[in-house]
Structure 1
């Protein structure tokens, strides 16, 4: 029996109604695994390839034959917007079969949640944070809710494999399964997996099952890709280059921007007119600034406002308005967004996506471009690289167009090798260990130290953490009153701990800044951090407002709308760039290859960069003299190897070569003054690299490097250890140092 014939009649009817003429390869492969094996399943295929249907067609068929006595499947989605979108899609599929679909996150009505708790059944769609809250607050009901749980589907699984949020998801799954006495099969969905075997191991951790990874031959897809460069000034790189021509099909009035406009943003303004587009940026601050600027151009040109905004600090109503407008095929508007619209939500017939500056990862680039190219349109991405015009006396490292190089490198490593960042499983997740310890105590009540360790340390994600480390953590938490000893010798949540676990923000393990809710009269606009004083302006929801009142106790900001342009306040946006990307950036400078997606200014700017870096020796030498005692080191290594290198130079080499004023532009270059010669520098590097290195040596004496959300509640020795052994890429740094020394003959 083929997979289609095995589907339930209501699934077959759904396929007929949607005029599908045949099953896609991924749907046939998924059906074979789910129907004929007991394995976990990892489905990796391009965006809009039908992964969700591939997983749920067979799951719902099995449910229709033997209805679960509780929630039968949990769908874990990383974003509320994605869950809202999938909720509508699954409801359409399940309605005829009478299989309930529930969604559960912070924006869902309590009445909907109450109905699910009263009659647990069908499919539950939920975020990791809401599932954590359920484990903590509905502890006694877990067996009833999930006693016949058969499947856990994790969407966009790649987004959970590079930090504490993915570890939290694995821990929650293990805790829930133990508590409910079930061992459901796990199904992971992703369009951008760099190492499928490692991802399959991650997905199945602690399940006792193997993970099937069907190999799906991808159809060749033609991309429409362009990359243009702009100085934030009137003079552009190609201003005097009459011989440079861009791709004719992408050459559309590059200089048609509003008068006195920022050229890069003006370019976006012109090329979104009359189209439905997404404009991706890399931070919430930039999202607000770009939206405000684009709206001001509408006003200056006497056009209606055609720009929406979407990011994680906006209120639900603003986000949902943007989502609804993007799904409406009759609405020709453009949404400026961060990663909140990067993942699998179907936002209709998008004509193109823009990316302002380079994203940090290949994965992010592919996801963002994958928002387009649906419904028989080719995927289309326009990169807009912006840069301040270098001053005449600016030193060499700052004149290199790093973002342009990064964008080219991200595209090239995928086109040439189909390379995507691999998952990171070698961390020491002490922050998450704290979180899961407090969550377990809050949900279970009093436990002996041995019982607590049995429940937490045996979670698969904590395999690198020793019992001795856990004892250090528990002693510290007792001392700080996050945990309290009872007279019987058990452990419960202490007074200081209660203040944390009783706050809804405790459920999330990703870093959050101290946020203030912004209101204009009764309307909630969103949230921001570090609000300015009364009378100052703020930017949120794509508009400018003046602060009229601050309530620090209740974290409220009251404001009124005004005209103008100001920066937003959301906190920093760090990025982790892989060594592979930095090395390909160097290759971009070294090779004479042209890239067909580069536009006029980008071609000219790259040509300038190649000439200047070759003439200065940047493409052949890692250490360049900038004049006198001033030097620049170009490591071409990723973020965490770069961290290790900075510390290695400071701790091991600084005094030996009389290095001073070390100033980094991570992860591109390091500038410093040095009394030693180039030969003495590399000789010292080789000598120090040949000596054994204790990772703890690279943590500064009084430093407590807080990286993760709950690091501040850990004993200092564990924070330092987690940073030294789990963050610093010492092996990558040493490999780079040794290769430089080999090249220099040391």
Structure 2
């Protein structure tokens, strides 16, 4: 039987009325797999391959009774994606006469109460909203989720290898206790084969999980605009000129690697266009721009049919938010991984099936890293995901969440969490007991008659609006113009009365600062400079760095037939010398450093090993942009490491004496205040030295 023939008459009518010429390959495969097995599915396919319909159509088609509760739970990493999918699936659900309900902060309480009181149809929600429901209204959560037959997870790749992903795994296992063995479908960008095992285990389900891979991809057109020797604190004029020329004929997304660069590029492009009276719209899109302004940009891009526009953005637009079709993507500054570059490329060519990548660069090292990532992508070699080992931070958060949910819990049960929930199975009994003892000692948990309840410090945690998420939300100062919120900024010494700043692609002058309210009042002006944001750059992958070394060693970069790049890469090679199995760099002051050509995690681990055997007063530094570690007599230190003159015991001893080092290495772990120092050190060893 053909996949289309197995669908209900209503779904067939929907497809016919939409004018689809046929089902896509991933849709055909998913419909057949759902009909012929009881397995879970992961749909791994590029952007614009019809993944959303490939997930929803077979799930909706398989539900036999829509009258006995909520049947499909869709989980998204972003509220914007929920809004997109609500628009996309609403028409299909109307054909089936089933309700679809989005659930986030902007949805009315009346809508939420309606689906809680009479669970039915499809619910679209984020992980953090599920946590809020379990903690604050556990009875409602059980009533709402008990009839669910399908759980659909969007952007699975964005959860793998992250604290938020571990949080979601725990939530899935907690709510699955209310359900009767639901089936899972996850949508993901293309995955490395090495990660298939991690992906299959994500659901914690007793069912088998199949991965369906769509290997179709757009044709790729690459242009390179490289300005030799122009690297500096600002984007080179030649680079801006190249980007501006592309923006005059194409709708584009520009991906620099920082919010500072987003603001600088957007402002300067806009000035260039105004000087020529060019009818082009330029937008800035990053996490510090107010969400309403970001949504206005997304709406404009999605619904614009005639006007040229360019959005300069950070990774906020890497995920599958529907902004319609753009002609091309500009990469300025190097992507940290092949996967990141792949995601960015997937934003273009939806209509033409040709992705266009403009590489614009004025720094030779960044150019080498971009080329290394592109070379891997063209060979179909994606980075492997670095999974989080022994996630004590997420476990501590979930211990508190479960106690909030259940009010009290026998200690015997609390000490069995690593056996009750598969997500915690790698945590030993001894480590779980140590963690809980510490949380009791610090009054996050209180013990009464062998029952664990929330302690006074735990109550303070719950009162924080940030408790439900494992990712940090910024505590920056909000920026306001009259009655409009523009966004937020870190309050640095540069922010003073009458100072000029760029934010949301506009120039502002600071008129008032209310420190207590964390509020900055501004007015419009003409000239300004980008604010100083905390670094946005992510960890660079091992695969990209190792390919950088290979390209330099073999001279394969000459295939680009670009004289400037060949000359500058030849110069990079000449600045390094190879000795005893390592690359070394010596500057004009005869300072020597080791260039590892390895990923950020490896470099941090190596730096820790060196510091652990260094004498007091010796300073060693990691310059990760260049994969470089410097310090006194670095060659001798590396020789000691190679000779086995150090072990992880040295690292433990170093960390035990350096609380600041522990804090720096666990700074992105939001709930590490719940974790004892010995487990923090163990986490560092497990996550930086497993490579």
TM-score, normalised to structure 2, is 0.91
The CA distance in 1 between the partners of 2:398 and 2:481, in whole Å, is 38
- The change in CA–CA distance for 1:156 and 1:350 in structure 2 (over 3 A counts) is same
Counterpart of 2:622?
664
Local SS of the residue matching 1:227 = strand
Deviation at 1:267, TM superposition (A): 1.9
Give unmatched runs, 5+ long, in structure 2: none
- The change in CA–CA distance for 1:302 and 1:719 in structure 2 (over 3 A counts) is same
Q: Does 1:278 align with 2:241?
A: no
Deviation at 1:542, TM superposition (A): 1.5
| 1:189-217 Cα deviation digits (max 9, x unpaired) | 1122113522433333x21111012354x
The CA distance in 1 between the partners of 2:512 and 2:110, in whole Å, is 34
**Within-5 A mapping of 1:181-196:** 181-195=179-193, 196=195
Greater shift in the superposed pair: 690-699 or 565-574: 690-699
Contact 1:637 1:667 in 2 (8 A): no
Deviation at 1:615, TM superposition (A): 6.5
Deviation at 1:368, TM superposition (A): 0.6
| 1:410-458 Cα deviation digits (max 9, x unpaired) | 1111222x12122333512111112111211222212232233345763
- The change in CA–CA distance for 1:593 and 1:725 in structure 2 (over 3 A counts) is closer
1:508 to 469, 493, 498: 469
Contact 1:457 1:465 in 2 (8 A): no
The CA distance in 2 between the partners of 1:140 and 1:710, in whole Å, is 26
Deviation at 1:229, TM superposition (A): 2.2
Contact 2:612 2:651 in 1 (8 A): no
Counterpart of 2:174?
175
The CA distance in 2 between the partners of 1:73 and 1:31, in whole Å, is 16
Counterpart of 1:229?
226
Greater shift in the superposed pair: 610-619 or 488-497: 610-619
Counterpart of 1:406?
369
- The change in CA–CA distance for 1:490 and 1:86 in structure 2 (over 3 A counts) is same
Counterpart of 2:433?
471
Counterpart of 2:570?
610
| 1:95-125 Cα deviation digits (max 9, x unpaired) | 1211111112234343433332233221111
Contact 2:418 2:426 in 1 (8 A): no
Counterpart of 1:588?
551
1:335 to 294, 308, 311: 311
Contact 1:590 1:610 in 2 (8 A): no
| 1:475-495 Cα deviation digits (max 9, x unpaired) | 332333323334x44332233
**Within-5 A mapping of 1:691-730:** 696-697=652-653, 699=655, 701-703=657-659, 704-705=662-663, 706-707=666-667, 708-726=669-687, 728-729=688-689
Counterpart of 1:4?
4
The CA distance in 2 between the partners of 1:659 and 1:552, in whole Å, is 38
Q: Number of matched residues? A: 679
| 1:497-524 Cα deviation digits (max 9, x unpaired) | 2232222222211233323332222212
Deviation at 1:569, TM superposition (A): 4.7
Q: Does 1:346 align with 2:322?
A: yes
Counterpart of 2:66?
67
Counterpart of 1:145?
144
Counterpart of 1:309?
284
Local SS of the residue matching 1:334 = strand
The CA distance in 2 between the partners of 1:108 and 1:348, in whole Å, is 24
- The change in CA–CA distance for 1:208 and 1:68 in structure 2 (over 3 A counts) is farther
Q: Does 1:449 align with 2:425?
A: no
Greater shift in the superposed pair: 327-336 or 363-372: 327-336
Give unmatched runs, 5+ long, in structure 1: 236-259, 388-400, 733-746
The CA distance in 1 between the partners of 2:460 and 2:482, in whole Å, is 30
2:356 to 372, 376, 380: 380
Q: Does 1:571 align with 2:531?
A: no
Greater shift in the superposed pair: 72-81 or 477-486: 477-486
Local SS of the residue matching 2:524 = strand
The CA distance in 2 between the partners of 1:700 and 1:564, in whole Å, is 49
Deviation at 1:681, TM superposition (A): 5.7
| CA-atom RMSD in angstroms | 2.8
Local SS of the residue matching 2:350 = coil
The CA distance in 2 between the partners of 1:547 and 1:57, in whole Å, is 52
The CA distance in 1 between the partners of 2:350 and 2:450, in whole Å, is 60
1:646 to 607, 611, 616: 607
